[in-house]
Structure 1
Amino acid sequence: MFLNYLKITLRTLIKYKGYASINLLGLSLGLTAGVLILVYVLDELSYDRFHTNGDRIYRVGTDMYDIKTGALNGGIEGNGWAVGKLLERDFPEVEKVVYISNGNGLQVNHNGKRIEQRNFFAGQEFFDIFSFPLVKGNSQTALAQPNSIVITESMEEKYFPGEDALGKAMLFEDSLLFTVTGVLKDIPAQSHMQFDMLISFATYESLARGFTYDGGWGNLNVRNYILLKEGVDAHAFFAKARDLYMNYVEEDMRKWGMFMYLGFEPVKEIYLHSKRGNGMGQLGSIDRVYLVSGVALFVVLLACINFINLSTARSAHRAKEVGLRKVVGSSRNYLITQFISESFVLTVLAFLIALGLIGVILPMFNQLIGKTYSLAMLLQPAVVIGVMAMLVVVTLLSGYYPAIAISSLRPAEVLKGKIMTGQRGVQLRRVLVVFQFVISAGLILCTLVVMNQLNFMQNRDLGFNRNEVLIVDVGKVPSGDQTYHNAFRNDLSALSAIESISFSNAVPGRNGWVGQWAHASDRSSEESIGTEFMTIDEHYFNTLDIKLLAGRNFDPNNTADMQEGLIINETAVKQFGWETPENALGKKVDSPSKHPAGTVIGVVKDYHQWGLQQQIYPQAMAYKPHFSRYFVLRYNVAATADLLTQLEATWKKHYDGHDFSYFFLDADFERQYYAEQRLVKVFTVFSIVTIIIAIIGLTGLVSFMVTARTKEIGIRKVLGADVLNITRLLSREFLMLVIIANVIAFPVAWYLTSQWLNGFAYKVTIGASLFVLTFVLAIGTTLLTVGYQTVRAALSDPVDSLRYE
């Protein structure tokens, strides 16, 4: 029986190869999008699922609340030094706690060079909690002693090629000698932790100034992960442990002007759901997963709708075939099975074409979403199951209605030439076309809004000049004191292309010390505000063209400036309660952490330290060049032919053995808009695909309509109707359907894009021009598609039209 269905199906596809080709095009485009997004979604959802105890592992973070308003000021992934030990001591629900801290870019000495690898300090409990298998060494002791280091297999091959690294020494920062005590498998890509090396936390204890497990409440620079005991009610534990800060240091927090509480995140949810950041790797976004999944689902649905419309349109050609089959004894169930079989074969053929398309466009898709997928991903069990389910669903969605509709034709009426013209079928096809253009118009409008916002962010006046600025990073070079870099700076000044040089610990797009609490000295500490504290020199404002509104710049000859001088921005003036820049001059600022504390000597105009997603923070800048890491160079474009070569030669003269690290400020600042740039590309690609599929679907419906009205067209031409009248008559209905689709799509797209824009502190308004442009694109596409076929019908010979039926 199956072979019979298959034989008839193949004959039918060959007979109607034009329709089959169009169907295959639409379905293959839809399946290509569907399969690629299926791979992406399954990959995103698989992060941190490999840990044996994953259901009991939680990351402990810190949430900070304003004392007066109770509003959440922000959350971070770090904790005070005492937190982890107190969780283990005070709460029997906790089985294990591990301390982890950044390696601060410790560099490996190798072959006369310093190489930075991703490294972290981690306690000996690390391997008890996480399932990162060691291939060499003892997991119970590998991180127990000071100066111990565990490296990945890739690092063993890099630094000890062909050798066993166990027991070997590795030199860091010219003076730190570590012993390799373990080798672990390379970290899976689907882990929110990405590292090359783990250094024992006992080493951190000896290196971190003043480290103690009994204090350090304000030093939120360590991470704690906990393993709860089996059977523990996690939410009940969270409620008990949340107030740990309040139980121990409430009075200190009042001085800081904030309350802090613990927050707990399941390890399986960190990658997609965390709002506290991730200093151990990148984060994904569950919203992005939902967005891309939704768009891909619509694309697949549009492909199915396109199939339905084309199959329905083809029913006019197959009506007599159905009538004859019924006359010779075929049952309705047999015909339904036959048509669904055709749908299945077409779907499988479309899938095979989609595989070819995937092989071609996979590199572009990887670039689009920032992944490194290979075709081997398609062989993973979850992907195979997902693809099979997709094929079944697409087959049923695209084949069931045409099968029911065509198999319901009555033989007597069919053989007399009366094809399906019932209102029910016509209305359904109209609804499907409207749905297609709702999606298409909605995606076009969304794309235009996202493009408009991105253009706004890229071209807004940021309050500083980011063009022709190059940053040299000396943060990995031990500085000792400011004089260490003076010789390098003097040689840079001698280069003809350099117009101005500054030295700072932060530049726009790269943070200084964020979240430093401070308050006006004549106000209560409970009125503290979070500031971004930076250290700069006297050339910083001139180099970046930042405007000084009141007061003066730093004076290197004034000792008081280095000791207590502060320059703040307009936002800090307002939040400290001083109203105007002039009123702020001479005022004193206090801070529990001593930074920023001092006397205001100047006020600068607000500028965007960060992208337009964020409000401008209160900023406080101190004259402390010896705390800095970035040389900020403004250069003359006309004299930059050999600038990088000259800079690197100067670097090697002073810092030979250290990697020359630099970046251009404009390109680096643009990194903050990477997500928006990628979103524009995703929306653009999917908009084009949906428009193509909608055009194919519209072609099918126009074809059906022209076929059904062939005799009417002939009669109208005989009675004197010209081509324009007939084209207008046949196009009117479709233009009305597209107008209805736009009316439905616009409010939905406006709401969704408005919600998206609410994530930006500075944003565009959704102007009428975007709606007009979307409408014009939708109408223009419809006129071109419908006009081509209707003009062909209108130009046909009326004699042939009258003979048609």
Structure 2
Amino acid sequence: MLKNYIKIAIRSLLKFKGYTAINLLGLALGLTAGILILLYVLDEVSFDKFHANLDRLYRVETLFATTESVGKKSYDANGWPIGMKLKDYPEVESVLYAKDASGLLIVHDNQQIQQKLYFASPEFFQILSFPLLKGDPRRALEAPYSIVISEAMEKKYFPGGDALNKTLTLADSLTFAVTGVMKDIPGNSHLQADMVLSFATYPLLNSEFSYEDGWGNINIQNYILLKPGVDAEAFHRKAAGIYQEHAGEELKTWGITASVLFQPVRTLYLTSHTNSIGPLGSLDRLYLVSGIAAFVILLACINFINLTTARSVYRAKEAGLRKVVGSTRSNLIFQFLSESLLLTCCALLVALMLTSMILPAFNFLLHKHYTLAALGSPAVMICIALLVLVVATLSGYYPALVLSGLRPADVLKGKMQYSVRGVQLRRSLVVFQFVISVALVLGTLIVMDQLRYMQEQSLGFTTEEVLIIDASVVRTPNRAVFQTFGDKLRAQAAVSQVSFSNALPGRRGWAGQVAWAAEGRSEDAVTVEYIAVDEHYAAALGLQVIAGNYFDLERTAALKDGLILNERAVAQFGWASPADALGKRIASPSGYPAGEVVGVVRDYHQAGLQHAIGPIVMDYNPHASDLYAIRFRSEDAAQLTATLRALWDEQFAGHTFHYSFLHESFERQYESEQRLAQVFGLFSGVTVLIAVSGLLGLVSFMVVSRTKEIGVRKVLGAGVWSIARLLSREFLALVLLANVIAIPLVWFIGQRWLEGFATRVSLHPAIFVITLIIVAGITIVTISFQTLRAALSNPIDSLRHE
């Protein structure tokens, strides 16, 4: 019997090739969206799930709070003594000390190479499930100047054989012994490292480090493993006040309070707001993309239902005859579901081909590295099989109910009745399709409008014709070489200004520094961004000094003790005006920043326009700098870049030349919004295409069901355009209704989304009018073909229809 059902299904699909092609395309698009998002979702939720003791594993975070006007800020790192104090708690089984070490470069074949390096204490391989292939996992990171490398690094730096007990040179003169080789850290780990250095080395490189002091030095990552059976919530409440217990008075003098948070590693990737050692996901983005994909699949199913129902007129006699010869309703339902399943399986084959073509662009869009091989994993194959069954059932069940419920006597006499409820359902489905389509089109336009608005705003500095050279790869105690290189840059005819600093717009300085007006109270502390600059910084960026003076080599006192503020910092410190701030002093527990205000610059955007302008304090400190900002006159940027590269290779042989342009660097801050616009644009195009196909199905159904009416109207004198208007009016009303439903909904959601931007566009009615015109235009083009064909048909043929 199953074989018979398949034969009938194939004949039926081939008989109505046009409808089959449209159905196939709609289902294939839906399944393609489903497969792509399935890869994304399974990858996102798999992060860090491979750790053996995941239910007891936590990352320790620090939460700082200053005044109410500043609020709270969390960090994924902690003060130096936190790890040692946590070891004193009986609930804690083990504590890991770790720190980013990417500033140390590998010296190999006279080249300095940057890799992902990480300091870690011996607990690294005990707390975290990263297999060590060679070496002792308990002792590999015990001794100073020990290093564990990944398999990939062993092949790269020791291609001839075993790396164990051999040495690597870091930062020109530091020799590390290879004590282990670990399996490459998987891509679905929030912690990414090519090499792990023993944490015992860090105090030897930083003489100020102490396990007992340095509560304000927030640069150490700690992970804890709780003992089995410990009530995690109770422990979190107990240990949250560890800062206040041991350093409360010291923190009070800084005008801040601090507490620790315990982030479960199980949910860290998707729920944490910060991760300085690897990738970071977004639960909101996961829900958004998954929701859009679900709607696309649902629209494809609705599209199938409408087209199949429209075609049911031609299948009614078949169903009636089968009932006459003994088929039960369940037999008919199974037959039509088999047809739906067959078509869905064919759509799956098309979807797999589409996936292979779209996957590179999808990877680029989401910054992923998925391959077709991932489709062969058991989890993905099971999910795809379930997806096919769900789509086939959703698509085929309602049409199967309709066809199997027809009465044989009425069908064979040609007296088919179309229920009002069924017609209304089909109309409702089309409205729903267009609500989603209109919403996504509007969402795309809103995101693009906000992105355009941010890109067009004045930034308060000059972005054009400024080239950036990143000198952070050069690690040397001889700071004079940077001054020498800067002088060589200034000697170039095409160069007008050269600045050396630790931050530039789009590249933040030392954020989170605490300071207060010296004549005020430490309780009124302000969190500022500290920027180390030289005397050329303002000129290179085109910053406007509105009070006092900028740094000048002739005013040596200002160079030693002077500070430059922006307008926002002046307001935050409580001074009435930029002029009033001159001569005032700023105090800070760390000494950065601390000194006398000698100048004020007009506010400018150090970060993207998603963020409000924050307080900035500039200090003359070129020795803490590593970024060159080069303003050039020449229009030939390629020639200038080649010249600068040659100068770099001459001054810093063996170091990689990293450069970018300031406008490009600043624009990269909008990548999230650009990707969001691309995602919305992609899915809105797909949903409109599917919705149009569904509309075509409903038009076909209506034309067939009203064939005799059209013939009578033509006999009575109705013209072609009057009939076309008659048939089109209803469909345009459905699209208009969809807009009426979608526009207020998107307006509300759009306003909420825009509230997350410090600089935001106002929602203009033109966006909604444009959307209405686009969707209405597509609708008119879609329905015109069928309605005009019906209006131009011979009325005699129409009257013979029944």
Query: Is the shorter-chain TM-score for this pair beyond 0.5, marking a shared fold?
Result: yes
Tell me how far apart the structure 1 counterparts of residues 278 and 475 of structure 2 sit (CA, whole Å): 25
Alignment of 1:281 with 2:278, yes or no, is: yes
Asked if the contact 2:494–2:633 (Cα under 8 Å) also holds between the matched residues in 1, the reply is: yes
- 1:645 corresponds, among 624, 642, 647, to 642
Alignment of 1:535 with 2:570, yes or no, is: no
| 1:4 positional shift | 1.8
Asked if the contact 1:482–1:625 (Cα under 8 Å) also holds between the matched residues in 2, the reply is: no
Say if 1:10 and 1:641 are closer, same or farther in 2 by CA, change over 3 A: closer
Letter in 2 for 1:30: G
- 2:675 corresponds, among 672, 675, 678, to 678
1:31 aligns with 31
Tell me how far apart the structure 2 counterparts of residues 182 and 418 of structure 1 sit (CA, whole Å): 82
Tell me how far apart the structure 1 counterparts of residues 464 and 278 of structure 2 sit (CA, whole Å): 30
Letter in 2 for 1:160: F
Deviation by residue 1:393-412 (Cα, 9 ceiling, x = unmatched): 11111111100011111112
**Which piece of structure 1 moves more, 422-431 or 379-388?**
379-388
Alignment of 1:207 with 2:199, yes or no, is: no
**Which piece of structure 1 moves more, 322-331 or 149-158?**
322-331
Letter in 2 for 1:281: G
| 1:557 positional shift | 2.4
Letter in 2 for 1:254: K
1:417-432 equivalences in 2 (<5 Å): 417-432=414-429
Asked if the contact 1:481–1:626 (Cα under 8 Å) also holds between the matched residues in 2, the reply is: no
Gaps of 5+ in 2: none
2:135 aligns with 137
Asked if the contact 2:102–2:115 (Cα under 8 Å) also holds between the matched residues in 1, the reply is: no
Tell me how far apart the structure 2 counterparts of residues 347 and 95 of structure 1 sit (CA, whole Å): 53
Deviation by residue 1:620-665 (Cα, 9 ceiling, x = unmatched): 0011112111111011242434111111111111111211121111
Asked if the contact 1:497–1:639 (Cα under 8 Å) also holds between the matched residues in 2, the reply is: no
**Which piece of structure 1 moves more, 469-478 or 92-101?**
469-478
Asked if the contact 1:497–1:640 (Cα under 8 Å) also holds between the matched residues in 2, the reply is: no
1:100 aligns with 98
1:452-601 equivalences in 2 (<5 Å): 452-480=449-477, 482-601=479-598
Alignment of 1:445 with 2:442, yes or no, is: yes
What is the TM-score of this pair, normalised by structure 2? 0.99
2:155 aligns with 157
Tell me how far apart the structure 2 counterparts of residues 212 and 601 of structure 1 sit (CA, whole Å): 36
2:360 aligns with 363
Asked if the contact 2:67–2:525 (Cα under 8 Å) also holds between the matched residues in 1, the reply is: no
Deviation by residue 1:451-490 (Cα, 9 ceiling, x = unmatched): 1111112221111111111111122223535533222122
Letter in 2 for 1:73: K
Asked if the contact 1:77–1:223 (Cα under 8 Å) also holds between the matched residues in 2, the reply is: yes
Deviation by residue 1:219-239 (Cα, 9 ceiling, x = unmatched): 000000000111111111101
Tell me how far apart the structure 1 counterparts of residues 518 and 306 of structure 2 sit (CA, whole Å): 74
1:310 aligns with 307
| 1:66 positional shift | 2.5
Tell me how far apart the structure 1 counterparts of residues 536 and 476 of structure 2 sit (CA, whole Å): 20
1:593-742 equivalences in 2 (<5 Å): 593-742=590-739
Letter in 2 for 1:96: S
Deviation by residue 1:217-274 (Cα, 9 ceiling, x = unmatched): 0000000000011111111110100000011111111111111110111112111110
2:225 aligns with 227
Gaps of 5+ in 1: none
| 1:72 positional shift | 4.0
How many percent identity over aligned positions? 54
1:752 aligns with 749
Tell me how far apart the structure 2 counterparts of residues 338 and 657 of structure 1 sit (CA, whole Å): 72
Alignment of 1:111 with 2:143, yes or no, is: no
SS of 2:635's equivalent? helix
Letter in 1 for 2:66: D
SS of 1:435's equivalent? helix
Asked if the contact 1:68–1:526 (Cα under 8 Å) also holds between the matched residues in 2, the reply is: no
CA RMSD of aligned residues (A): 1.2
Tell me how far apart the structure 2 counterparts of residues 623 and 761 of structure 1 sit (CA, whole Å): 30
| 1:751 positional shift | 2.2
Asked if the contact 2:634–2:640 (Cα under 8 Å) also holds between the matched residues in 1, the reply is: no
1:46 aligns with 46
Deviation by residue 1:666-691 (Cα, 9 ceiling, x = unmatched): 11111111111111111101000000
Equivalenced residues, count: 802
Asked if the contact 1:438–1:744 (Cα under 8 Å) also holds between the matched residues in 2, the reply is: yes
Deviation by residue 1:9-47 (Cα, 9 ceiling, x = unmatched): 112112222221111111011001011101110110000
Asked if the contact 1:496–1:639 (Cα under 8 Å) also holds between the matched residues in 2, the reply is: no
Say if 1:587 and 1:365 are closer, same or farther in 2 by CA, change over 3 A: same
2:72 aligns with 73
Tell me how far apart the structure 2 counterparts of residues 672 and 587 of structure 1 sit (CA, whole Å): 34
Letter in 1 for 2:650: K
Asked if the contact 2:103–2:472 (Cα under 8 Å) also holds between the matched residues in 1, the reply is: no
Letter in 1 for 2:79: G
Asked if the contact 1:711–1:804 (Cα under 8 Å) also holds between the matched residues in 2, the reply is: yes
Deviation by residue 1:47-85 (Cα, 9 ceiling, x = unmatched): 00001111111000001123557x742100010110011
Letter in 1 for 2:209: F
Alignment of 1:291 with 2:276, yes or no, is: no
Deviation by residue 1:152-188 (Cα, 9 ceiling, x = unmatched): 0110111110211000111111111100000001110
Deviation by residue 1:347-394 (Cα, 9 ceiling, x = unmatched): 111111111111111111111211111111111121111111111111
Asked if the contact 1:151–1:180 (Cα under 8 Å) also holds between the matched residues in 2, the reply is: yes
1:127-276 equivalences in 2 (<5 Å): 127-275=125-273
SS of 1:418's equivalent? coil
SS of 2:143's equivalent? coil
Alignment of 1:7 with 2:7, yes or no, is: yes
Tell me how far apart the structure 2 counterparts of residues 798 and 367 of structure 1 sit (CA, whole Å): 55
Letter in 1 for 2:258: M
Asked if the contact 1:548–1:604 (Cα under 8 Å) also holds between the matched residues in 2, the reply is: yes
| 1:295 positional shift | 0.2
Tell me how far apart the structure 1 counterparts of residues 643 and 670 of structure 2 sit (CA, whole Å): 31
SS of 1:50's equivalent? coil
Tell me how far apart the structure 1 counterparts of residues 228 and 448 of structure 2 sit (CA, whole Å): 50
Alignment of 1:774 with 2:763, yes or no, is: no
- 1:123 corresponds, among 117, 121, 124, to 121
- 1:406 corresponds, among 403, 408, 422, to 403
Tell me how far apart the structure 2 counterparts of residues 253 and 102 of structure 1 sit (CA, whole Å): 25
1:61 aligns with 61
Letter in 1 for 2:659: Y
What is the TM-score of this pair, normalised by structure 1? 0.98
Asked if the contact 2:469–2:660 (Cα under 8 Å) also holds between the matched residues in 1, the reply is: yes
Tell me how far apart the structure 2 counterparts of residues 726 and 368 of structure 1 sit (CA, whole Å): 47
Tell me how far apart the structure 2 counterparts of residues 624 and 561 of structure 1 sit (CA, whole Å): 12
| 1:600 positional shift | 0.5
Tell me how far apart the structure 2 counterparts of residues 593 and 303 of structure 1 sit (CA, whole Å): 60
2:81 aligns with 82
**Which piece of structure 1 moves more, 163-172 or 297-306?**
163-172
